[in-house]
Structure 1
Amino acid sequence: MQVFFSDIQLHHAPREFLVRGQWKPCPEQPGRATALKLALAEAGHGISLPPAGDRAAIAAVHDARYLSFLKTAYQRWRALPAASESIVPNIHPNGRGLGYPQSVVGQAGFHMADTACPIDGDSWPSILASADCAIAATKAVLGGMGSAYALCRPPGHHAFSDMAGGFCFLNNSAIAAEMLRGAYGKVAIVDVDLHHGNGTQGIFYERGDVLTVSVHADPSNFYPFFWGYADEVGAGAGKGANLNLPLPLGSGDDVFLAALDTGLAKVRGFGAEALVVALGLDAFAGDPFAGLAVTEDGFRRIAARLATLRLPSVLVQEGGYLCPELGRNLVAFLDGFAA
């Protein structure tokens, strides 16, 4: 399968994130992308450098004020007296219907859902390069390739149109889906990450032309906590175009695949003409987040089920964190999708 990856994505290197009130080493490290790239190369997948992306494709999904914040915030933050080396918000609005602050401290709280998205001087180029991979893979599919894989890092599915969260800044899966909508009447996004794709859901929640399906660990006791419940079905024109399939913590292959089958039936009933797979590998039993218990063979089977849709498909990397099996799980998924 054709793969798109840029080494610029490795420059974003967050050191810590806040867990239960304590600073812990951040698992969203450059090494996870390096491990995936190495496994792809060893398996014989061609890896292409994406060109500098279509900024209009990003702007079609993300708010202009938010993009300006991501681009300029670090320099403004560092100009503050005694500011930390990385941007980490220390205030969050309880609701977002009031004024928009001029202070970068206030804007950080407005545009960052949690403390898991520190921004430093190398972050913005990496964020853009991640989106470039998704854009290049989508253009390849629009150009006639049956499927293409974007090795995106940092990931994207927790990012809303104007808010970062959960290691994510630009929603690469949503960008791919919006681009596909330029050629196809209906597009489906199927998210198989351990965590609910809350940003993706939020972007399309009131639209009926993009179906969002997410199979994930039950958010009642797992990130992102506030989204991902089965009763979230869409609103307005999008009512019925969102399907959440939360699973009990510790669920393995068979439970995951049964939920996925429900999701795929929804995709077929929707009449999707193209597909985006938000590919998280963190549902693996040995992933550091330890929420579900999918096996290497499980990923192969998940991919094979997705491939039965026989749709033009963009595969976008989301989660999946450093463990010895990380690269093998990706190769197993791509093998299953191509079988």
Structure 2
Amino acid sequence: MLTIYSDDHHLHHGRSELIDGQLMPCFEMPSRADHILQRVMDRKLGPVEAPTDFGMQPIKRVHDEGFLAFFQSAWQRWAEMNVEGDILPFTWPARSLRKVKPTSLLGQFGYYSFDAGVPITAGTWQAAYSAAQVALTAQAAIQKGANSAFALCRPPGHHAAADVMGGYCYLNNAAIATQAFLDQGHKKVAIIDVDYHHGNGTQSIFYARNDVLFTSIHGHPEAEFPFFLGYDDEPGEGPGEGFNFNYPLAAGSGWNEWSAALEQACKQIAAYAPDVLVVSLGVDTFKDDPISQFKLDSPDYLAMGERLKRLGLPTLFVMEGGYAVEEIGINAVNVLEGFERV
């Protein structure tokens, strides 16, 4: 399997995030991608290539231009203020406030984000831009005839909506690749998000559309981030009604419960009969993940890959979460090896 990877991800290394009432070192760190890349090479999964630069247009097909302009300019504006440290938002337009876009940098950051898990550093824009190009390059390989490809994206993307960043995610790599498939002639694309946390950004981008089927297996949002999306009564709206399927599971769920949800999602995907499958590949479902509550073990990821392969679809894997850093490479590559060995 071809892996696409860029060293630019090292340019994004936030100092801290607000979690559990504390400013803590970021769980989303460069070593995550480094461990995955090393495992890809150790297991001789296949060639590793740098991304092609497809420019801004494929990103603009998914993301709002005002949002992109803010993100691109944020660090320079911060530097001109002569303030030390990363930029973190701290005020959001809650229900009792107006949804107006302020002129100030920090006001706009609140407008274009939904949590304080998205520190912007000097290199964050370039890292996120390159991650999108990683996804687009892997997508292009499948478009040219490859049966599968792995986009080793960092930072991840599935929490980012068209005009909102959050949850470590800035640009929605999976959505950008999905839209590229559609723009290049595919009629229907299915997405399965296997990250522990609901892919709220991806759902929102395609929620009113029937050319994308979105499925997600995740911790129940009654108790888990992102809290405000990911319930099982969100079927899509307008033309998209009936094309959105969420499978929220209780904390402590292991492979038996998780694989039953996977089977349901796969049946929905098979019935939809898409041209291609995009997998938002999070491995924070692992039993020792520090910010998640599922109990999957490393061999389970092999079985996950095997089941996805039986769908018989060209498949693009896009890396999302996973914060048990020492095991992230084993678990992510197990999915890919399980897919390859069927």
Question: What amino acid is aligned across from residue 115 of structure 2 in structure 1?
Answer: D
State the alpha-carbon separation in 2 of the partners of residues 12 and 199 from structure 1: 20
Question: What amino acid is aligned across from residue 23 of structure 2 in structure 1?
Answer: W
Q: Where does residue 243 of structure 1 map in the other structure?
A: 245
Question: What amino acid is aligned across from residue 253 of structure 1 in structure 2?
Answer: W
Question: What amino acid is aligned across from residue 34 of structure 2 in structure 1?
Answer: T
Q: Where does residue 211 of structure 1 map in the other structure?
A: 213
State the alpha-carbon separation in 2 of the partners of residues 261 and 221 from structure 1: 24
User: Would you say the 8 A contact 2:3–2:151 is kept in 1?
Assistant: yes
Note if 1:50 corresponds to 2:41: no
Q: What's the secondary structure of 1:34's corresponding residue?
A: helix
State the alpha-carbon separation in 2 of the partners of residues 323 and 156 from structure 1: 18
1:98 Cα deviation from its structure 2 partner = 3.5
Q: Where does residue 105 of structure 1 map in the other structure?
A: 106
Tell me the alpha carbon deviations over residues 178-221 of structure 1, each in whole angstroms, 9 at most, x when there is no partner.
11112211110000001000000000011111010000111111
Q: Where does residue 19 of structure 1 map in the other structure?
A: 19
Instruction: Tell me the number of residue pairs that the alignment of Structure 1 and Structure 2 aligns.
Output: 338
1:270 Cα deviation from its structure 2 partner = 1.5
Q: List aligned pairs for 1:167-186, cutoff 5 A.
A: 167-182=168-183, 183-186=185-188
State the alpha-carbon separation in 1 of the partners of residues 208 and 219 from structure 2: 24
Q: What's the secondary structure of 1:325's corresponding residue?
A: helix
Q: List aligned pairs for 1:292-307, cutoff 5 A.
A: 292-307=294-309
State the alpha-carbon separation in 2 of the partners of residues 286 and 102 from structure 1: 43
State the alpha-carbon separation in 2 of the partners of residues 290 and 266 from structure 1: 26
State the alpha-carbon separation in 2 of the partners of residues 84 and 235 from structure 1: 44
State the alpha-carbon separation in 2 of the partners of residues 322 and 269 from structure 1: 35
Question: What amino acid is aligned across from residue 254 of structure 1 in structure 2?
Answer: N
Query: For 1:258, which of 257, 260, 265 is the aligned residue?
Result: 260
Q: Where does residue 234 of structure 1 map in the other structure?
A: 236
Q: What's the secondary structure of 1:15's corresponding residue?
A: coil
Q: List aligned pairs for 1:139-158, cutoff 5 A.
A: 139-158=140-159
List 4+ stretches of structure 1 deviating above 4 A. none
Q: What RMSD in Å do the two structures reach over aligned CA positions?
A: 1.3
State the alpha-carbon separation in 1 of the partners of residues 113 and 292 from structure 2: 25
Question: What amino acid is aligned across from residue 255 of structure 1 in structure 2?
Answer: E
Moved more, 53-62 or 214-223: 53-62
The percent of aligned pairs where both chains have the same amino acid is 40
State the TM-score, normalized to the length of structure 2: 0.96
User: Would you say the 8 A contact 1:186–1:273 is kept in 2?
Assistant: yes
State the alpha-carbon separation in 2 of the partners of residues 58 and 5 from structure 1: 18
User: Would you say the 8 A contact 2:284–2:324 is kept in 1?
Assistant: no
Tell me the alpha carbon deviations over residues 53-86 of structure 1, each in whole angstroms, 9 at most, x when there is no partner.
33211110000001111100111123236x3421
User: Would you say the 8 A contact 1:53–1:131 is kept in 2?
Assistant: no
Moved more, 238-247 or 86-95: 86-95
1:287 Cα deviation from its structure 2 partner = 1.4
Q: Where does residue 85 of structure 1 map in the other structure?
A: 85
Q: Where does residue 76 of structure 2 map in the other structure?
A: 75
Q: List aligned pairs for 1:278-297, cutoff 5 A.
A: 278-297=280-299
User: Would you say the 8 A contact 2:192–2:280 is kept in 1?
Assistant: yes
Q: What's the secondary structure of 2:14's corresponding residue?
A: coil
